[in-house]
Amino acid sequence: MQAASRRNDAPVAKLPDNQLFYPFGQQRLFMAIQWFPGHMHLTRKAIGERIKDIDVVIEMLDARLPGSSANPMLADLIEGKPALKILSKQDLADPVQTAAWLAHYNALPGVSALGLDTSMTQPAKALIDACRQLAPNRGGMVKPMRVLICGIPNVGKSTLINTLKGKRAAKTGDEAGVTKLEQRITLADDFYLYDTPGVLWPRIIVEQSGYNLAASGAIGVNAFDEEVVALELLNYLIPHYPQAITERYKVKDVASHTDESLLEAIARHRGAIQSGGRVNTTKAAEIVIHDFRAAALGRLTLETPTQFAAWLAEGKKADAERAVRKEGTKKAKKAMKD
């Protein structure tokens, strides 16, 4: 990722643990988005126990950021069980990119994928049919289908469950971390769906994923700086969705802007001006993030399968380097004691 160098081509200072310092205006801000509250650790343990008796695992992904919203911790926990990837909020995502992501997941062994949004009239049937195809030997009262549904916070899981049940079976909200308890939902006489609280993973190694998750609302607001997240969001939208910016904020010649100058232009357009005529970039950042979440910018997707694969490879490389540095420091400290 090149987020830091994009800011006026400022040099990036590399720090341990794949973290960065970079200039921002007259300040130097530190940005490393991580969010793993205590209840998520308990959820991780609960999933590990429940998975032993599960036939199919459903992972709900945000169709606007499918790769970033896929939990790498879950891959270790499901132990090769059949998986159904549901791309939720597809009505908010770029349909071309949603098709690309569905093709990507459907090409994986033991994996099926389908898109989902609030317009689907029979989501339960689509979900049940997909699970039965993944585990054809399960069904009937003797061997009922047991399915675990997982997802990051605020991915739309509770909304789906309420739709499946036809009532408010699960609490919903626009902030991360609403569902806190496991519950079982009977979708058919021989089909049990186990819901779990939204959970992230202890350390996000793909830096762009941290920004995308924050922009989507999956990460608690106190865990990130809204201006930095808004800048990263604009940085992606400038080359990929310039028309969306022009239509929403009446900014012409979007390609000529940097993320910082664009945020300032948005502030002026929306009247986010402080005393003395200074632009209020904090307010503008809030506007940009809100507009993305509400789809006021149109149907956008923040990553392609190819882009995410490159980000993941870079993240794994940086993480491996971090591990080597950590081990070297550990050995050096031991040698000093000896």
Predicted confidence (pLDDT) per residue in 286-336, tens digit: 999 999 999 999 999 999 999 999 999 999 998 899 889 988 888 788 778
Amino acid letter for position 195: D
Prediction pTM value: 0.81
Amino acid letter for position 11: P
The pLDDT score that the predictor gives to residue 240 is 98
What CATH topology corresponds to 225-293? Conserved Hypothetical Protein Ylqf; Chain: A; domain 2 (1.10.1580)
Sketch the domain layout of the chain as residue ranges. Answer: 1-32, 39-195, 225-293, 304-338
Amino acid letter for position 182: E
Q: Are 140 and 183 in contact (CB under 8 A)?
A: no
Two structure tokens written together for 324: 């080597």
Starting at the edge strand that comes first in sequence, how are the strands of the sheet with 19-24 ordered?
13-15, 19-24, 27-31
3-class DSSP assignment, residue 21: strand
**For the chain, which ranges sit under pLDDT 70?**
1-44, 46, 166-182, 200-202, 338
Q: Above pLDDT 90, what percent of the chain?
A: 52
Radius of gyration of the chain (CA): 22
- Rounded CA separation 104/227 (Å): 32
Q: Are 227 and 239 in contact (CB under 8 A)?
A: no
Helices (H) and strands (E) in the chain, counts: 11, 9
Cα-Cα-Cα-Cα torsion 293, 230, 67, 316, nearest 10 degrees, comes to -160
The pLDDT score that the predictor gives to residue 27 is 35
Please tell me the CATH code under which domain 39-195 is placed: 3.40.50.300
What are the b/e assignments for 75-96, b being 16+ CB within 10 Å?
eebbeebbbbbbbbbbbbbbee
